[in-house]
Structure 1
Amino acid sequence: MRTKTEKAINLFESGCLKEALSIFRTFRIGFTKEERRTLQIASESLAGNENFYQQIGIDTDSMISKSVEIITEKYLSNEKVQCKIGRKACYIITN
């Protein structure tokens, strides 16, 4: 049986950032309060609430990029991941 962490990492590595973040944002252990907030905002932005966060002055593209960095640092520290932000998605390119 695969763990929730394994599912999230596999989704992340396959480029399904929206789905991966919806799992990672539920994690309470291993992330600081600020990291959890970043993951939550990035997840909600990709789920369609981007305009809300932009209206209150939050740079959603920056939050999405930071969330990719956080996940990479915590779970894929041996790989380099580059985030290219499209209109509604972030594409993960592993080198």
Structure 2
Amino acid sequence: MKKKTEIAIAHFENENIKTALKIASEFRIGLTEAERKQIKLGYECMVHRDFYLQIGRNPAKEIDKAIHLFVEKIQKPYVSRGA
């Protein structure tokens, strides 16, 4: 059985970023509360782009931040462990 981390990374590598961020937004280990919220915000900006534009957020910037966190905090550490 695959771990959620493996599933999220597989989605990310297959360019299904939205699903990868959705799964990662539930992670507790290895992420601070602020990092988890940023990943969740990135996912929400993908799903509800117009809403975040209306409230003055920059969805593209929030998504980029979430992707950066995913790569730095989830993908790189997992891959470097050789898991």
TM-score with structure 2 length normalisation? 0.81
1:55 equivalent in structure 2: 54
Q: Which runs of 5+ in 1 are unaligned?
A: 79-95
- When the two chains are superposed, the root-mean-square deviation of aligned CA atoms in Å is 1.5
Indicate the percent of aligned positions where both proteins have the same amino acid.
Answer: 38
1:44 CA drift (Å): 1.3
1:77 CA drift (Å): 3.1
1:71 CA drift (Å): 1.0
Q: In the alignment, is residue 27 of structure 1 matched against residue 30 of structure 2?
A: no
Describe the SS at the equivalent of 2:76. coil
Give the length in aligned residue pairs.
77
- In structure 2, C-alpha distance between the alignment counterparts of 1:61 and 1:5, rounded to whole Å: 24
- Judging by fraction of residues, say which structure has more helix: 2
1:6 equivalent in structure 2: 6
Q: Which runs of 5+ in 2 are unaligned?
A: 78-83
2:37 equivalent in structure 1: 37
- Judging by fraction of residues, say which structure has more strand: 1
Describe the SS at the equivalent of 1:27. coil
One-letter identity of the residue aligned with 1:58: R
1:74 CA drift (Å): 1.5
Q: In the alignment, is residue 73 of structure 1 matched against residue 72 of structure 2?
A: yes
TM-score with structure 1 length normalisation? 0.72
1:17 CA drift (Å): 0.2
